[in-house]
C-alpha cells in the first residue's frame, strides 16, 4: 500500500508536484498516467526516498521507505533502467544489490531466469539493448520478493513477447495480494493491465478511479448504426445535443442519445436497422479528452502547421517534424 498526503515537490521555483494525495491499494494493478512532465517520475522518486518532498508525506507499507528494516523486501522499484553501472555485469549488479539484504545467490539466479536474462547475465550492462536494460531493472525490483512493486514505464523498449510477459507478471503479482503501481504511456497496454487509474496533470491528480468508472466518465454515449435509410433516421433522432456522423452511405455514428432511444425512433418511423452497437470510449479517448488542457509540452499538429505556413517543400516540413519531436520530449 502506498499513501501520499499533500505531496509537493519544487525544482527551484518550478513546481513538479503540487500537493497530491492518493492511496494505492494492494491486490490491484494501479496505473499511473499523465503527460510528459506531469510529475509521474518525480512522485515515484519521492515514494522511494530518492527525492525529498518539499512538503507532504508519502508512506509505503505503512512507513517511510527509508525507515524500513529491509527496504528491498518491502518495495521493489524500476524507476530508471539506467540505474546500473555500465561496466558491471548484470549478475554482479544483482549480487551487489542482494548482498545489502543478505539475499541468497539462489534468488539472484531465480530473478535472472525469471526475466530471461540468462544468456547475457555475465555481460557488461553497457552493451545491453533498451529492452534488456528494462528486464534487468525488473529483475532488481523483484530481488527482495517485495510486497509493493513500483514500475516506471516497464514496457518501454520491450519486444511484444516482453510486453505480454510484463502484463502477465504484474497481473499475477497483484493477484497474490501485492500492491502494483505502474506508469505507462501505452494506453492500449494500460487498458489491458490496470484495475485502477491515477491520472496526473501538471502536478495535480486529475482522476483517481477504477478502470470501469474512468471509461464510463466520458459521459458520451456513442452508437454505431447501419441502416439503408440514414437520412430518415437522421431526421428521426435529430435533436439538441445529438450529433450524427456519416461514416459511409449506410453507416452512422450517433452521439448524445442512448441506444434504446435510437431503436425506438427507428421503430416509430419504420426504419430498418441492421446493426446497432453501443460503443465504449477507449482509454485513449477518455485520457486524451481529460488531459487535453493539462499537457505541458504540446506537440504541434503537423498538418495544420504545415498548411498554415504554406509550406510546400519537404525540407521545411521536416523541420516542423523535428520541432515537434523536441517539444514532446520528457521535461523534468
Binding site for another protein (CB under 8 A): 1, 25-28, 45, 48-52, 65-66, 68-74, 77, 79-80, 82-89, 92-93, 95-97, 99-103, 140, 144, 146-147, 174-179, 195, 210-212
125, 88 in Cβ contact below 8 A? Answer: yes
Could you give the CA distance from residue 102 to residue 11 in angstroms, rounded to a whole number?
Answer: 36
Strands 179-183 and 29-33: parallel
Instruction: Choose between 130 and 175: whose C-beta lies nearer to another protein.
Output: 175
Closer to another protein by CB, 77 or 190: give it. Answer: 77
The answer to whether 134 touches 116, Cβ cutoff 8 Å, is: no
Closer CB to another protein, 64 or 247, in the complex: 64
Query: Nearest approach, Cβ of 120 to another protein (angstroms)?
Result: 16
Query: Which C-beta is closer to another protein: that of 25 or that of 218?
Result: 25
Q: How far is the CB of 33 from another protein (least distance, A)?
A: 18
Query: Shortest Cβ distance from residue 143 to another protein (Å)?
Result: 9
Helical segments of the chain, H only: 40-47, 71-74, 90-99, 105-114, 130-142, 160-175, 187-193, 211-216, 230-237, 259-268, 283-291, 302-308, 314-327
How long, in residues, is the chain?
332
Helix (H, G, I), strand (E, B) or coil at 136: helix
In the complex with another protein, which residue's Cβ is closer, 80 or 296? 80
Q: How far is the CB of 85 from another protein (least distance, A)?
A: 4
In angstroms, the CA 185 to CA 181 distance is: 14
User: Rounded to the nearest whole angstrom, what is the least distance from the CB of residue 5 to another protein in the complex?
Assistant: 19
Of the two residues 100 and 188, which places its CB atom closer to another protein in the complex? Answer: 100
The Cα 157–Cα 79 span in angstroms is: 14
Integer Cα distance of 286 and 194 in angstroms: 15
Work out how close the CB of 211 gets to another protein at its nearest, in angstroms, rounded to a whole number: 8
| Cβ atoms of residues 268 and 184 within 8 Å | no
DSSP 239: -
Closer residue to another protein in complex, CB, 211/281: 211
**Nearest distance, CB of residue 16 and another protein, angstroms:** 11
Task: Tell me which DSSP letter residue 63 carries.
Answer: B
Separation of alpha carbons 29 and 184, rounded Å: 12
Amino acid at each position: 500500500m502506498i499513501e501520499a498526503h499533500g505531496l509537493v515537490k519544487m525544482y527551484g521555483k518550478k513546481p513538479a508536484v503540487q500537493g497530491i494525495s492518493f492511496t494505492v491499494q494492494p491486490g490491484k494493478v494501479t496505473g499511473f498516467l499523465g503527460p510528459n512532465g506531469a510529475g509521474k517520475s518525480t512522485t515515484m522518486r519521492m515514494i522511494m526516498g530518492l527525492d525529498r518532498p518539499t512538503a507532504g508525506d508519502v508512506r509505503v507499507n505503512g512507513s517511510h521507505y527509508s525507515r524500513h528494516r529491509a527496504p528491498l523486501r518491502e518495495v521493489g522499484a524500476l524507476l530508471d533502467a539506467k540505474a546500473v553501472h555500465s561496466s558491471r555485469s548484470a549478475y554482479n549488479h544483482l549480487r551487489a544489490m542482494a548482498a545489502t539484504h543478505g539475499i541468497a545467490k539462489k534468488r539472484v539466479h531465480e530473478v535472472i531466469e525469471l526475466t530471461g536474462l540468462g544468456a547475457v547475465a555475465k555481460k557488461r550492462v553497457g552493451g545491453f539493448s533498451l529492452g534488456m536494460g528494462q528486464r534487468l531493472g525488473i529483475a532488481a525490483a523483484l530481488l527482495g520478493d517485495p510486497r509493493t512493486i513500483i514500475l516506471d514505464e516497464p514496457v518501454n523498449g520491450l519486444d511484444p513477447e516482453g510486453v505480454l510477459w510484463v502484463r502477465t507478471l504484474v497481473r499475477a503479482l497483484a493477484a497474490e495480494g501485492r500492491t502494483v503501481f505502474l506508469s505507462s504511456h501505452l494506453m492500449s497496454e494500460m487498458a489491458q493491465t490496470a484495475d485502477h487509474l491515477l491520472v496526473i496533470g501538471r502536478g495535480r491528480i486529475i482522476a483517481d478511479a477504477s478502470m470501469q468508472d474512468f471509461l464510463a466518465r466520458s459521459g458520451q454515449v456513442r452508437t454505431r448504426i447501419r441502416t439503408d435509410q440514414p437520412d430518415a433516421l437522421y431526421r428521426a433522432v435529430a435533436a439538441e445535443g445529438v450529433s450524427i456522423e456519416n461514416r459511409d452511405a449506410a453507416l452512422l455514428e450517433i452521439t448524445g442519445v442512448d441506444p434504446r432511444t435510437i431503436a425506438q425512433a427507428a421503430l416509430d418511423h419504420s426504419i430498418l436497422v441492421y446493426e446497432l452497437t453501443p460503443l465504449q470510449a477507449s482509454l485513449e479517448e477518455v485520457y486524451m479528452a481529460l488531459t487535453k488542457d493539462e499537457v505541458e509540452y504540446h506537440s504541434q499538429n503537423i498538418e495544420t502547421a504545415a498548411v498554415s505556413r504554406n509550406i510546400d517543400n519537404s525540407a521545411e516540413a521536416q523541420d516542423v517534424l523535428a520541432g515537434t519531436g523536441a517539444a514532446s520530449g520528457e521535461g523534468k
